[in-house]
């Protein structure tokens, strides 16, 4: 490389990220960003203009070493404190600047760039080379992800192999399924449906049942065998006839509809509706209802594609946003992230959990991850953002109350793992760090009342306290790498609900 060209290449590479660095400086207004990114970058830029001849001089190894350390600090600071667009531009610019003044670096950098481009192309041509969980983390459209939706021991099945996309319910299971599914922690489990597409052993329950259970994955009983689910255990322990109308992925939008379509014909004495915290009052299905109203011929898959497009961060417009847009659509970073952090894609990890000593037993839980999430939750803002979902929940409970007239309505509040276990962690535990225990538990209580305040006193069964009593004895009630109840959790809930309903052997 010509010695007269190298200083100008150095300056050009260091000037390249100027827009993104300065934009983050204004937007973030953070002292750590200024000290770790802006100052080192400015030092490098100034040195490229004042000391360029010395930098490219092969004898100035000490100077280049000092500047290399500064560049490493700058890159590390951008990775820790900067936004994605800045990272995407600044980090390659620093590498390219180093290669422009050190000929020995140029060939490895070029070779690495060619290798990364080749891997990106190979993944786009054949994403099936990746493990299923990593493949599902790729930045694909909603329809493409539905093509590998249900995890099986041998790979995956498309959504339409097991689901139908009905206009009234958005989606439901196909009738008469008997499929082995797979989860990295729970292992193999069976999805078996009746002739209407619900997880019941006996289709006659649609004609006569003492109890109808409605809800999402918790009520369906995912990751466990059909006889191990909460509704099946409730039936077995009480001798009652239980009709399970739970479907994974549903929320309050579907509950009154499925009761009217499939539950009332069973003439139940009790209708149990599981409400799973924030997942049952988000605005997802109200948006689906509005989308379907405007496009009567569209199905739920079309809506998912539209939601996917709307969720994509727009980034900066024009050429300034191009690096970030390209990065977000790249397969290689998403694949590496899924392989390096498998729990983010639903796969079990060897050691990413905490041990909580309860009684004489150590329970494995991902409390650190839960704490990290809740630290960033603003309850008031979340409630405001999801007001459409909360209004839908209120309407659904009112409709359920009206439809279930003549039957006893039970609103079952289903707490998240952290709602059960974090209250059991002592305030002096190092797990809390700088987080206020009372403040964080107060956030949970604030959001729990969004659901519980809508139920009448005689209707509500809040599982938080009763499950907490079981957990305090050292019981593990949730999967470590999944948010749902494990086998013991399903059994505990069946006992709690049976005790509340006070069933006797004359129920059936």
The residue extents of the domains of the chain are 5-125, 160-293+365-508
Among 484, 137, 502, 116, which residue's Cα sits nearest to residue 345?
Answer: 137
Looking at the DSSP assignment, which residues form a beta bridge with residue 190?
180
Cα distances from 220 to residues 177, 205, 217, 255, 340, in angstroms, run 14, 15, 5, 13, 31
Q: How far apart are CA 364 and CA 350, in angstroms?
A: 12
Output the six-digit token pair for 309: 């497009």
Write the DSSP symbol of residue 271. Answer: E
Looking at the DSSP assignment, which residues form a beta bridge with residue 244?
213
User: Model-level pTM greater than 0.85?
Assistant: no
Report pLDDT for 1.
Answer: 47
Highest mean pLDDT among 24-33, 244-253, 358-367: 244-253
- Which residue has tokens 């660095």? 21
Q: What's 160-293+365-508's CATH class?
A: alpha beta
Looking at the DSSP assignment, which residues form a beta bridge with residue 409?
271
Report pLDDT for 100.
Answer: 85
Q: How far apart are CA 7 and CA 275, in angstroms?
A: 64
Q: How far apart are CA 39 and CA 24, in angstroms?
A: 13
Kindly tell me if the per-residue pLDDT of 367 is higher than 60.
yes
Mode of pairing for the β-strands spanning 408-413 and 150-152? unpaired
Distant-in-sequence, close-in-space partners of 505: CB < 8 Å, separation ≥ 6 = 239
Output the six-digit token pair for 324: 């970030």
Instruction: Categorize the per-residue pLDDT at 348 as very low, low, confident or very high, splitting at 50, 70 and 90.
Output: low
How high does pLDDT run on average in the chain?
Answer: 90
Kindly tell me if the per-residue pLDDT of 271 is higher than 90.
yes
Lowest-confidence region among 97-106, 147-156, 159-168: 97-106
The average pLDDT across 419-427 equals 95
Kindly tell me if the per-residue pLDDT of 235 is higher than 50.
yes
Cα distances from 58 to residues 43, 101, 109, 110, 124, in angstroms, run 21, 9, 19, 20, 41
Report pLDDT for 508.
Answer: 40
Kindly tell me if the per-residue pLDDT of 2 is higher than 60.
no
Report pLDDT for 344.
Answer: 60
SS3 state of residue 211:
strand
The average pLDDT across 396-419 equals 96
DSSP 299-358: -HHHHHHHHHHHHS---SSHHHHHHHHHHHT-HHHHHHHHHH-GGGGT---SS--EEEEE
Distant-in-sequence, close-in-space partners of 84: CB < 8 Å, separation ≥ 6 = 324, 327, 328
Looking at the DSSP assignment, which residues form a beta bridge with residue 423?
none
- Which residue has tokens 């109890």? 211
Calculate helix-pair angle for 84-101, 103-125, nearest 10 degrees. Answer: 140
- Which residue has tokens 């080749």? 118
Calculate helix-pair angle for 487-501, 464-471, nearest 10 degrees. Answer: 130
Instruction: Quick: pLDDT tens for 126-149.
Output: 888 888 878 878 888 787 888 889
Kindly tell me if the per-residue pLDDT of 349 is higher than 80.
no
Instruction: Quick: pLDDT tens for 494-505.
Output: 999 999 998 544
Report pLDDT for 350.
Answer: 56
Edge-to-edge, what's the strand order for the sheet holding 408-413?
242-246, 211-215, 270-275, 408-413, 460-462
Among 209, 282, 205, which residue's Cα sits nearest to residue 251?
Answer: 282
The average pLDDT across 326-347 equals 78
Q: Is the distance from CB of 508 to CB of 204 less than 8 angstroms?
A: no
Write the DSSP symbol of residue 478. Answer: B
Among 450, 17, 56, 18, which residue's Cα sits nearest to residue 275?
Answer: 450
The share of the chain scoring above pLDDT 70, in percent, equals 95
Lowest-confidence region among 55-59, 137-141, 504-508: 504-508
pLDDT higher at 349 or 45:
45
Task: Extract long-range pairs of 293-299: CB within 8 Å, 24+ residues apart.
Answer: 299/165, 299/167
Looking at the DSSP assignment, which residues form a beta bridge with residue 150?
157
**φ, ψ (nearest 5 deg) of residue 328:** -65, -25
Burial pattern 90-101, b for ≥16 Cβ within 10 A else e, equals: bbbbbbbbbbbb
Q: How far apart are CA 254 and CA 264, in angstroms?
A: 14
Mode of pairing for the β-strands spanning 354-358 and 361-365? antiparallel
Report pLDDT for 506.
Answer: 43
- Which residue has tokens 């790979």? 155
């Amino acid at each position: 490389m010509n010695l007269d060209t190298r200083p100008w290449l150095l300056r050009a590479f260091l000037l390249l990220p100027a827009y993104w660095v300065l934009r983050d400086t204004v937007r973030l207004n953070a002292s750590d960003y200024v000290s770790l990114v802006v100052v080192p970058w400015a030092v490098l830029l100034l040195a490229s203009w004042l000391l360029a001849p010395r930098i490219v001089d092969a004898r100035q190894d000490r100077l280049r070493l000092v500047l290399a350390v500064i560049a490493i600090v700058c890159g590390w600071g951008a990775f820790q404190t900067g936004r994605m667009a800045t990272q995407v531009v600044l980090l390659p610019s620093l590498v390219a600047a180093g290669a422009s003044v050190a000929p020995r670096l140029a060939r490895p950098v070029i070779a690495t760039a060619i290798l990364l481009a080749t891997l990106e192309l190979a993944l786009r041509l054949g994403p099936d080379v990746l493990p299923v969980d990593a493949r599902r983390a790729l930045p694909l459209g909603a329809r493409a992800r539905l093509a590998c939706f249900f995890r099986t021991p041998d790979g995956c099945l498309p959504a339409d192999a097991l689901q139908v996309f009905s206009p009234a319910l958005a989606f439901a299971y196909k009738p008469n399924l008997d499929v082995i599914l797979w989860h990295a922690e729970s292992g193999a489990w069976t999805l078996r449906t009746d002739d209407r597409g619900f997880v019941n052993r006996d289709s006659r329950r649609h004609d006569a049942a003492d109890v109808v259970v409605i809800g999402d994955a918790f009520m369906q009983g995912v990751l466990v065998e059909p006889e191990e689910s909460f509704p099946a255990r409730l039936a077995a322990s009480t001798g009652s006839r239980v009709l399970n109308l739970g479907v994974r992925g549903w929320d309050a939008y579907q509950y009154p509809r499925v009761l009217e379509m499939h539950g009332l014909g069973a003439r139940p004495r009790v209708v149990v509706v599981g409400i799973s915290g924030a997942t049952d009052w988000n605005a997802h299905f109200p948006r689906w209802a509005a989308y379907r109203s405007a496009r009567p011929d569209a199905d739920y898959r079309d809506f998912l594609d539209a939601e996917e497009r709307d969720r994509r961060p727009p980034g900066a417009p024009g050429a300034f946003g191009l690096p970030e847009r390209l990065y977000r659509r790249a397969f290689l970073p998403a694949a590496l992230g899924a392989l390096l952090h498998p729990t983010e894609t639903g796969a079990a990890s060897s050691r990413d959990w905490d041990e909580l000593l309860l009684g004489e037993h150590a329970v494995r839980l991902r409390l650190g991850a839960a704490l990290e999430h809740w630290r960033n939750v603003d309850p008031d803002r979340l409630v405001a953002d999801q007001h459409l979902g909360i209004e839908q929940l209120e309407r659904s409970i009112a409709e359920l109350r009206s439809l279930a007239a003549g039957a006893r309505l039970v609103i079952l509040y289903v707490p998240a793992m952290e709602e059960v276990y974090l209250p059991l962690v002592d305030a002096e535990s190092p797990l809390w760090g700088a987080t206020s225990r009372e403040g964080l538990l107060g956030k949970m209580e604030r959001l729990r009342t969004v659901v519980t305040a809508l139920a009448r006193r005689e209707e509500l069964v809040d599982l938080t306290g009763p499950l907490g009593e079981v957990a305090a004895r050292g019981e593990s009630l949730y999967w470590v790498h999944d948010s749902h109840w494990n086998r013991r959790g399903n059994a505990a809930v069946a006992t709690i609900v049976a005790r509340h309903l006070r069933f006797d052997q004359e129920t059936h």
